[in-house]
Structure formats: C-alpha cells, structure tokens
Amino acid sequence: MDDLPQWLPVAIVVVAIAVLVAVWFASRKRAAQAPTKPGNNRPRGLDALDTLQSWAPERSRILTGSERQAFAVLRKALPEHMILAQVPLARFLRVPTRNSYNEWMRRVGQLCADILVCNSSSEVIAVIEIRQPPAQESERGVKRHARMDRVLTAAGIALHVWREDVLPTPAAAREAILGAAAGLSPHEISGGGQARPFGMAGAPLAASALPLLEDDLPEATELHGHREPPPSTWFDDLDGAETDRARLEEDVKSV
C-alpha cells in the first residue's frame, strides 16, 4: 500500500463522483422521456406545456392564391359538383387497422389534398393538386407528393396535377375531369370506372375565369388580418423534425 501513488485515492474519489453525476443526469433524462401513462408515448415534459401559451394560435387562410384561382376554375367548370378544399387523406380514405393506424397517419394520413371534386353524394371523383414547377420543389416535397400520388392511385382515385403557373381553363378542366366531351356514364363519373391517375397541366387560365375576390386585394388583406396558409413545405419540416427526433431517441437508447 505504501508503494501506491499519493494521488491515486484522490483520482478514485473524482471518478466515483463523476460516475454518480452521470447516473443522476441519465435518470433525469429517462424520467423526462418516460410516458405519463401506460400506452402513452408522449414525453412527460409535453404534458406540462400550456396549449395556448406554447402554441399561440393565429388565423390563416385555407388556400394560397394559386389554389383560390384553381378553386374558382373548378366551380365554374363543374357547377353541379361539390368542390372541397384542403381535406386530409384520412377523411376520405379507409385502410386496414391490422397495422398501426397512427403510423399510417404519420406517413400519409395527415396530408391534405388541395382540392376534391365530389358528386352530389359526396363521393370523391377526382383530386386536384396545385403544385410548383418541378425545378422549384424541394427533395422532401417531391418525396411527399410521390407518396401521396401512390396512395391515391392505389385507392382508384383520379389525380390531376396542375402547375400553379399554368392553370387550365374551365372547359379544359371539365373535359379532363369528366372525360372527353363529358361522355362518361354516371357510374364512371361517380368513381366506379377506371381511374385516371394523372391529369394534364392545361392551357393558360382565361382572365374571365379568374374573378378578383375582394379579400385578395392588399388593403382587404390588411383590414381583415388574413394570413396566407402555412406553406406546403411545412409538412416537409414536420417530417424532418419527426425523423430527427426518432434518430435522437435511437441514439439515447443505444447509449
């Protein structure tokens, strides 16, 4: 024992204290991430956040300017149909529940179709997506759209993709959605026939088909306090945050 260095006992004490501190921090971290109830996967810290103070709500528009123009085209082209906007896929698609429904919602169910065309019985005839030119889309946006396209096609729902800078005229939109010269049978129009996965980009929109709404004027926007809707890339940021959080959780588990 006399041969041991004098600093060794001090080093042992320092290492022991460091280990205790590390264990204490790790236990606090696990406690913060532990579910509050059995089956609840939310971290305990989230329950302590106030709904209004932590996520202060602000009113926004439902549609962007291009989507409002496309909506006006469809109302003029298909006055006998129901035109709905920003409907979540989970609202008009059903999937088996043998696998996690929450996982399906995370992947695609929470995404919204820009515009739905429905018959008088509220059956979906077609989905209209208003998108940016391909060169302007982000990589995540392209993947998100591809995922939505595959789901809609698999469900047998006709998908028409319109570029926001090249919208069709009402006549072209009606022909593309209902068939050449509107020659489809009522059964086919209601969605019982062959689905048309992709639509045409269309000709430039006629000026007469774009009524300038009062709320679209700059002064009206300021007066009523309207805000543009969250950009479509919001979902890409959400996907990225979820992915980063999942990776962080995996890293914590592996430590």
Which of these ranges, 22-31, 150-159, 230-239, has the smallest mean pLDDT?
A: 230-239
3-state SS track over the chain: CCCCCCCHHHHHHHHHHHHHHHHHHHHHHHHHHCECCCCCCCEHHHHCCCHHHHCCCCCCCCCCHHHHHHHHHHHHHCCCCEEEEEEEHHHHCCCCCCCCHHHHHHHHHCCEEEEEEECCCCCEEEEEEEECCHHHCCHHHHHHHHHHHHHHHHCCCEEEEEECCECCCHHHHHHHHHCHHHCCCHHHHHHHCCCCCCCCCCCCCCHHHCCCCHHHCHHHHHHHCCCCCCCCHHHHHHHHHHHHHHHHHHHHHHC
| Predicted TM-score (pTM) above 0.75 | no
Quote the pLDDT of residue 212. Answer: 42
Which of these ranges, 40-49, 152-161, 191-200, 224-233, has the smallest mean pLDDT?
A: 191-200
**pLDDT tens sequence across 122-162:** 999 999 999 999 889 889 989 999 999 999 999 999 999 99
Question: Which band of pLDDT confidence, cut at 50, 70 and 90, is reported for residue 37?
Answer: low
